[in-house]
Amino acid sequence: MTRLIVAAGGGGDAVAAAMLNAALYGDEDQAVILTYAWDRLLIDPVPGPRGPDDFTGLEPLTPTVWKVPAEARPIAPTGSTLPRLAAELPHTFALIDPRHGAEGVTRQLKDLVTRLQPTSIDLLDVGGDVLARGDEPTLKSPLADSLTLAACGQVNAPIRLLVAGPGLDGELSHEDLQGMLGALVHTFTARDAEPTSAVLEWHPSEATGMLAATARGVRGTCEVRDAGLPIPLTDESPTVHEVDLDEALSRNELARAIMSTTTRDQAEALSREVCGFSEIDYERNKALWLKEQQPATLDAQAVLHQLTQFEAEAQGRGVTHTTFRHLTEILNLDGSQRDDLRRLLINSRPEQYAAPLWSLTGNNSGHTSRTL
């Protein structure tokens, strides 16, 4: 039996898809996870999503869909987490190719449905920004989710839209989403998070990291992103809800606008028109800014001193947790230093590790810390 899970925004949604598959369908059933290779600048210094031409070692699944095996490699200077995900998780990762707009992604989906004849198709979004209208002031990354939603809306097959971790992406709050969320499908538990626990030790996704942490019982307020956005970690955070796909399409103006696009540039131009911005433009600008920065040296004593200062200031803002991605940025380190920073902090203060988050107090709200 084959199950197809479409990771709406790529990145952490692909990891959450593995959590979902284990929770709903059991470890013995492997899934085909269709996802973008779009890992943001911490992993991939080149703005925007990667296409098949950015990899070596891909394998054809259909005439339009390529499998990313563990042996595949991104072509420098690009980067991707997908080969490592394929090496560490028992699923098939297939590449969403946005170069041909929503029509191209639709063709990919139709090809996969014909080839696999899946027993179920889930479109999974962590956080819920797939439900954005497009004019929300907190919206940051609507393009990927809108492309997959537009494509799924044009496939003649039963597709279930699922939102996991409502509000955890910081783009729409849980309160904003409440009226749109349908039936509760599942609440993730510590057992559900276990199959991806090793992956989330290194994967930079903040939203899926918080999803796993709340499944393990972590509660509080987590500060994320370069801007230090506070995200509430509540009993609702580890839930998965079904949403009517047609209602999501009727709400998401960008998804409707890009349905007939045949290039990524067209879709990006419509994002600027509908939402007032393109997240790829943001990445382009940030990539230029990062090139001009001089990363700090990872000096243990200096880093721990800076960390103590940050923790005191953040606790004054009511923050209880943060992500290693956020710590990397506020300490002026670059993405290549993230793993070294993580090891340093966990070895220095193991009681503050609330996997995969960092507790500012060492009180992990019932969570049991562990060292590596």
Q: Quick one: which of 20, 26, 75, 33 has its CA closest to 52?
A: 75
Question: Looking at residue 175, what is its pLDDT?
Answer: 83
The answer, yes or no, to whether residue 28 has pLDDT greater than 50, is yes
The answer, yes or no, to whether residue 372 has pLDDT greater than 90, is no
pLDDT band at 365 (very low <50, low <70, confident <90, very high): very low
What does the alpha-carbon distance between residue 219 and residue 221 come to, in Å, rounded to a whole number? Answer: 7
What does the alpha-carbon distance between residue 129 and residue 41 come to, in Å, rounded to a whole number? Answer: 20
Residue 71: strand pairing partners? none
Question: Looking at residue 364, what is its pLDDT?
Answer: 54
Cα–chain center distance at 8 = 9
What's the burial of 290, exposed, middle or buried (CB within 10 Å: 0-12/13-18/19+)? middle
What is the average per-residue pLDDT within 226-255? Answer: 96
What is the average per-residue pLDDT within 299-328? Answer: 95
- Domains of the chain, residue spans: 3-188+238-257, 206-235+294-372
What does the alpha-carbon distance between residue 185 and residue 68 come to, in Å, rounded to a whole number? Answer: 29
What does the alpha-carbon distance between residue 137 and residue 350 come to, in Å, rounded to a whole number? Answer: 37
For residue 155, the number of C-alpha atoms closer than 13 Å in the C-beta half-sphere is 27
Count Cβ neighbours within 10 Å for each residue of 52-75 and write b for 16 or more, e otherwise: eebbeebeebbebbbbbbeebbbe
pLDDT in tens, 53-94: 999 999 999 999 999 999 999 999 999 999 999 999 999 999
Question: Looking at residue 176, what is its pLDDT?
Answer: 87
- Residue 277: partners with Cβ closer than 8 Å, 6 or more residues away: 271
**Backbone φ, ψ for residue 235 (5° rounding):** -65, -20
pLDDT in tens, 197-209: 999 999 999 999 9
Instruction: Tell me the pTM.
Output: 0.95
pLDDT in tens, 115-137: 999 999 999 999 999 999 999 99
Tokens found for residue 173: 């709050």
Question: Looking at residue 369, what is its pLDDT?
Answer: 37
pLDDT band at 363 (very low <50, low <70, confident <90, very high): low
Residue of 272 and 226 predicted with greater confidence:
272
Question: Looking at residue 367, what is its pLDDT?
Answer: 44
| Residue 356 preceded by cis peptide, ω within 30 | yes
